[in-house]
Amino acid sequence: MPAANDETHFGRRTVRLDEKQGLVNDVFRRVAGRYDVMNDLMSFGLHRVWKDALVAKVCPSLTRPFAHVDVAGGTGDVAMRVARAGGPLTTVTLVDVNGDMLRVAEERAARRSISGRLTFIEGNAEALPLPDSRFDAYTIAFGVRNVPRIEDALKEAYRVLKRGGRFLCLEFSRVDVPFFERIYDAYSFAAIPAMGKVVTGEGAAYRYLVESIRKFPPPERFAEMIREAGFARVDFTRLSGGVVAIHSGWKI
Ligand SMILES: C[S@@+](CC[C@H](N)C(=O)[O-])C[C@H]1O[C@@H](n2cnc3c(N)ncnc32)[C@H](O)[C@@H]1O
């Protein structure tokens, strides 16, 4: 039997820490090609509004050099938004552990004028293949929940940020409106896996998504973890009745 501190969650299942990444990679390998369509369908397009809110907080410079890193960047939604929001000296590094998701991101970016300011790196949030104190801002959107050792990912975020740099995380959170909570639960557990099965052929992947949201720490606890990694002025903003939250911290 593995020690308790060697275990984590993969959706509802308890798995060994060293098993989780392989299971997560398998989920995203299977859905990569249909990931964007499914995001629009299951969130009724709201994920675009949430990502816009995240990028508004990044606020990349229009005139000065601005180095941004988007970790667990998937198919590139956030990275491309940051590049578009910034000026010609804004550069964005997208890191993802999954080559299939990265390939979709690269294909999407190649069709856009910002592609010259984007770099794609296959790498793990827990051990970023990036130098210390390099970036003005770090984002991770709907990614941290999938990382087996969240504390390590937060320490890495701190390491790669410059002093004065900002950490921003968009993640599913806890609905805090009583009646809406029941509708949200019914929709999540019944409709999302069924929709996932029809659209991607992968109902189990979307069951994992819904279950992993419930296993993620509540926003107050996640804010504490961000503080424990060394960040200051930590806070979070709930959006859409708490369906998601944007967490923020500064390296000072
Ligand atoms: C739900 S998707 C989010 C993608 C994108 N950020 C978005 O908001 O659309 C989660 C992403 O996290 C990536 N991921 C999972 N574990 C990771 C890790 N340890 N390090 C880096 N990326 C990881 C997956 O490959 C996947 O692309």
Atom number in ligand 1 closest to CA 148: 19
Coil, strand or helix at 5 = helix
Cβ–ligand 1 distance for 28 under 6 Å, the answer yes
Per-residue pLDDT of the chain (252 residues; tens, 9 = 90+): 334 458 888 888 888 988 999 999 998 998 898 888 888 998 999 999 999 999 999 999 999 999 999 999 999 999 999 999 999 999 999 999 999 999 999 999 998 989 899 999 999 999 999 999 999 999 999 999 999 999 999 999 999 999 999 999 999 999 988 889 889 888 888 888 888 888 888 888 888 888 889 889 999 999 999 999 999 999 999 999 999 999 999 999
Cβ–ligand 1 distance for 96 under 6 Å, the answer yes
Which of the listed residues 25, 78, 101 should we mutate to test ligand 1's pocket, taking the one with most ligand atoms within 8 A of CB?
Answer: 101
Coil, strand or helix at 119 = strand
Residue whose CA is closest, atom 14 of ligand 1? Answer: 72
Report residue 218 as tokens: 């509540």
Cβ–ligand 1 distance for 10 under 6 Å, the answer no
Cβ–ligand 1 distance for 60 under 6 Å, the answer no
CA 203 – CA 26 distance, rounded (Å): 13
Phi, psi (degrees; rounded to nearest 5) at 166: -120, 135
Cβ–ligand 1 distance for 80 under 6 Å, the answer no
Report residue 141 as tokens: 């959107």
Cβ–ligand 1 distance for 78 under 6 Å, the answer yes
Residue with token string 């578009």 = 84
Cα of 171 from ligand 1 centre, angstroms:
11
CA 23 – CA 197 distance, rounded (Å): 18
148 burial type by CB count under 10 A (0-12 exposed, 13-18 middle, 19+ buried): buried
